[in-house]
Structure 1
């Protein structure tokens, strides 16, 4: 049945929804990939019945949140927990993030799933922090992750960005943390397009200078760095960076604009993956990586290249609001019963933006059952006064 979707110009266009999902969405395999290490950053499901405010503590539907992680593990994907996709610093407070880490790590142990968890400093007020405060905050969160049995991802810190006077402060803080880390960690370089408060990270707004500092941190502690996650939305810069990494240090692409080519790689190497877009693409992404495992790069690209338009739409500026589209698609796909987000972030994207996300996802066959997705889209349109 035809839907009438609003466009950015305010007009309605007719759209005929898909009637069948892609066959790959019905296939479930939890076996590990052989050619790449792949994590999906995962969103949290809000409790829609909680009496909350946007600046209050997050209220999480734990059953639905953990069920979504089992969904990702069932397809062989690792889970990157309590990252920016889970609204760290944008609705998910540290006490709730700590509980999320503990619960998800326990679920990973029970199901045999791979998990890595974000370590940050979001219990601090960035403008009031000292370097000692930053170190202590990182240490507190690192202890929670290590005690849970998960791998640690050292995330970029707003407090460190606000406090550091230059590259030496980054070298000191990260060196301190890496020396005490029990196991090799993943270092995360999150660009300011994802979080404007991280402008000038690694001590410089000159990306070449910042890259040199980043590599200096790694070179000083290569045995404590499993890999780096690069989220700069600059494919060539990531390629240049991964070619300069010490042997044995992985590059995990966080480039939601250029991931197929970066994962496929070139004659000098490739990127592994730690991506927010793999939250809605989970089954399809897993199928693509299994094709890549056979050595069929063309087949991998044939599956994944068509998804880039959707990803670039979800992550378009202001990029930090991509979480709204991710949760919206999870609702349409039936992974949760509502379109509500912690911090009220469901209001962060417009109806035309969401309508285009639906159209692109439906065109890709991402919904396990397209009919309920169509009905939910129709209900949302009606809520906005559109006679679909």
Structure 2
């Protein structure tokens, strides 16, 4: 039976859109990939709680953990407590600690489950960040918490460090101190200012070329403590240059939600592994594609993953930092949560036209797992906007 939804268009008309997609089948067992693939996972709000969504959002821990089981069942590692979970945009350090503690404990109940946790400095305000030592102490607190609970660390970019650092040497000092003390190998995170405007000028350079030299010098000096680096600049050429120059044994993780398909496939000589927010939203499709790639079936890899790229580019369009709304929107349409609310009310960061476009693209990429449920929920949302 055809499923139709009334959707707004940019010309201020309403169309009746008929779904065309086919749900992606699930594997019987978690597949094996030949790429390391982290999905950065979101958190699920608890709309039943009497809380202040902007200041102290409540989290539905059962639904949040259930979503992590969904990702593990599809073969993914999880990048926990990253910006996809709204670190610094609704989820504070206290909430992140609870998330990290629960997720690490949950992972121990799942054979083969793996995750790494984001360590940043979000408990340190710019007002209180007066020196590099303040930044180091904030990082040390978060590294220590993760390690105390048996976790591995992703070293997130720091707004506080961007605020106080005066030169590339300041970044070398901070990263050198933390990497030298780390218990296990660490994944670094190079996050562009399109994701967070407060990170403009990060690493102390005014151009990609200068910044790259700083990053490579830090990695070279501490390569025994660096598992890899995630680069999120939405620039394919920059990532290719970085991965070409990384020392042997240090991995490049793509964080490019515009060009991930080509970067993961590689050029026959080098390829990127993945640490992506979009994998939260397109996990079944990415899992199927990566499993095909591992079997050498490039045609199936491309046929499955390439249709998700226009969807991802829509979700991550400027202002890019609001991409979390699209990720949670798809989790709601696909039945992973019973509501479309987010910490800090972030669902209001995008408008009806944006969500209508995501709906169309998700359908065309076979991302809608339960088309009847998705159509029903989309109709309810569009009715709220006055379009249905």
Does the pair score TM above 0.5?
yes
TM-score class normalised by the smaller sequence: over 0.9
Shift of 1:28: 4.0
Q: Which moved more, 1:363-372 or 1:218-227?
A: 363-372
Aligned to 2:210: 209
Shift of 1:337: 0.2
Aligned to 1:49: 48
Aligned to 2:187: 186
User: 1:75-224 counterparts in 2 under 5 A?
Assistant: 75-112=74-111, 113-129=113-129, 130-224=131-225
Aligned to 1:349: 350
Which whole-Å CA distance do the structure 2 matches of 1:8 and 1:166 have between them?
45
In the TM superposition, what whole-angstrom CA distance separates every residue of 1:265-302 from its partner, at most 9, and x where no partner exists?
01321000000000011011011001000122232122
**In the alignment, is the contact (CA less than 8 A) between 1:292 and 1:300 conserved in 2?**
yes
**In the alignment, is the contact (CA less than 8 A) between 1:80 and 1:117 conserved in 2?**
yes
Aligned to 1:3: 5
In the TM superposition, what whole-angstrom CA distance separates every residue of 1:216-239 from its partner, at most 9, and x where no partner exists?
110000000000000000001100
TM-score (norm 1): 0.97
Shift of 1:206: 1.1
Q: Which moved more, 1:362-371 or 1:89-98?
A: 362-371
Shift of 1:54: 4.2
Q: Secondary structure at the match of 1:126?
A: coil
**In the alignment, is the contact (CA less than 8 A) between 1:127 and 1:162 conserved in 2?**
no
Q: Secondary structure at the match of 1:243?
A: helix
Aligned to 1:323: 324
User: 1:260-299 counterparts in 2 under 5 A?
Assistant: 260-299=261-300
**In the alignment, is the contact (CA less than 8 A) between 1:58 and 1:93 conserved in 2?**
no
Shift of 1:361: 0.8
Aligned to 2:59: 60
Which whole-Å CA distance do the structure 2 matches of 1:55 and 1:265 have between them?
41
Structure 2 gap segments, 5+ residues each: none
TM-score (norm 2): 0.97
Structure 1 gap segments, 5+ residues each: none
Shift of 1:63: 0.2
* RMSD across aligned positions (CA): 1.2
Which whole-Å CA distance do the structure 1 matches of 2:199 and 2:240 have between them?
22
Which whole-Å CA distance do the structure 1 matches of 2:80 and 2:348 have between them?
23
In the TM superposition, what whole-angstrom CA distance separates every residue of 1:74-129 from its partner, at most 9, and x where no partner exists?
01111110000000011001000011001001111111311011000000112430
Which whole-Å CA distance do the structure 2 matches of 1:138 and 1:281 have between them?
32
Shift of 1:186: 0.2
User: 1:228-243 counterparts in 2 under 5 A?
Assistant: 228-243=229-244
